[in-house]
Structure 1
Amino acid sequence: MNNSVNISNLSLIFALALVVVAMLISQRQKLGLSKDILYAVIRTVIQLVIVGFVLKYVFQVNNGVLTLVMSLFIVYNASRQAYKRNPSQNKNFLHSFLAILTSTGITLGILVASGAIKFVPSQIVPITGMIASNSMVAIGLCYKQMNTQFIDQRQQVLEKLALGAPVRLASLSILRHSIKMAMQPTIDSAKTVGLVSLPGMMSGLIFAGVDPVFAIKYQIMVMFMLLSATSLGSVIAGSFAYRNYFSSRGILEL
């Protein structure tokens, strides 16, 4: 099984027609998304072209330090995006960075130690990207849900504080709900993988001509690591974030 995949520039131009369809739908339905779609397409092309050349160099050099630098760069950018998605006025970038760094580092460490992947750039960098991006999405959901819950349950939190409850106890139900909602998309994805969707890792390996059974093993590993990373990232980020809604004296500030 060795079917090569060759995408020509002409194929990409035809694929671009699908984006034009999306823009026309936005224009016809007056959604106001045409500029955003165009901007996203331009950014996608520029970013991926640059990253493609950078990764080609990193893979050829095969240097451990350079691999770590590239991985940290991915974690940093994922942290920035998660930070931007936090509606709190007192948000802290370091909280997002520590959450994603810890979840990514622990998950990667276990995979390398178990022999599931090797410490080579061609494996470490893509896996880091998958872990960090999923943690980023989960943490962003956690932040948004937490902000909504604090606004909706403001009175209940104030009543708990008035009765002498410490800040963590007054926020515990909100924290748990936010973490649960952050993890739910990954859990739902794990429930339907193979039945509804054939994820990127598995599809990419099959496209490359790898035995589907072998590709399935890798996809199972990916789902396990994503469940681990999103749970760790959400718990760490949420445990930091709820404190941003209180002053140093334990007063709720929205």
Structure 2
Amino acid sequence: MVGNAMTVTVVTMKRLRDDIQAQMSLEKTTLALGATPRQATLQQVKRSLVIALSPIIDNTKTVGLISLSGAMTGLIIGGASLVEAIQLQMVVMNMLIGASTMSSIMSTYFCWPNFFTKAYQLETKVFSIE
């Protein structure tokens, strides 16, 4: 769970940073017209979360039908019923999705202020490569 959550968080933050940097002139214009920083970057946040969570959600679709996970296989080989193995795998996949979603949303929420100055301008040093 921790490994998947870390991967999703890194992808979310990298994608958010890259999207804001790519559309910096649009955000500056939106901010100049009176939008709050959250309003100016809402589409980038949504896009980064969707892109980061897509692989985990796609993986969930195939577990049990196309691929058998380790926990499910171990239970089946160990003699547990198929229903118990499937129930355990459903719990594990829901925990993976939940941990990944929470970590990406929380990292976005807590790191978002670093993209802006106290005067609600884009912080250019965040986007420069040094």
Matches within 5 A, 1:178-217: 178-217=48-87
Answering whether residue 8 of structure 2 is matched by residue 138 of structure 1, we say: yes
Normalised by the length of structure 1, the TM-score is: 0.46
In the alignment of these two chains, the number of paired residues is: 124
CA distance in 2, matches of 1:150, 1:214: 45
Q: Gapped runs of 5+ residues in structure 1?
A: 1-130
| 1:157 CA drift (Å) | 0.8
Q: CA deviation at 1:243?
A: 1.9
Aligned match of 1:153 in 19, 23, 32?
23
CA distance in 2, matches of 1:189, 1:224: 12
Question: For residues 70 and 119 of structure 2, what CA distance do their matches in structure 1 show?
Answer: 48
Shift of 1:208: 3.6
Match status 1:247 vs 2:117? yes
1: distance between equivalents of 2:77 and 2:51?
33
Q: Secondary structure at the match of 2:51?
A: helix
Q: Aligned match of 2:98 in 221, 228, 244?
A: 228
Give the Cα–Cα distance (whole angstroms) in 2 for the partners of residues 157 and 240 of structure 1.
19
Q: Secondary structure at the match of 1:250?
A: coil
Identity %: 36
Query: 1:170 — aligned with what?
Result: 40
Decide which structure has the larger Cα Rg and report it: 1
* TM-score normalised per structure 2: 0.85
DSSP-derived class of the 2:95 partner: helix
Contact preservation (8 Å) 1:146, 1:242: no
Segments of structure 2 that go 5 or more residues without pairing to the other structure are: none
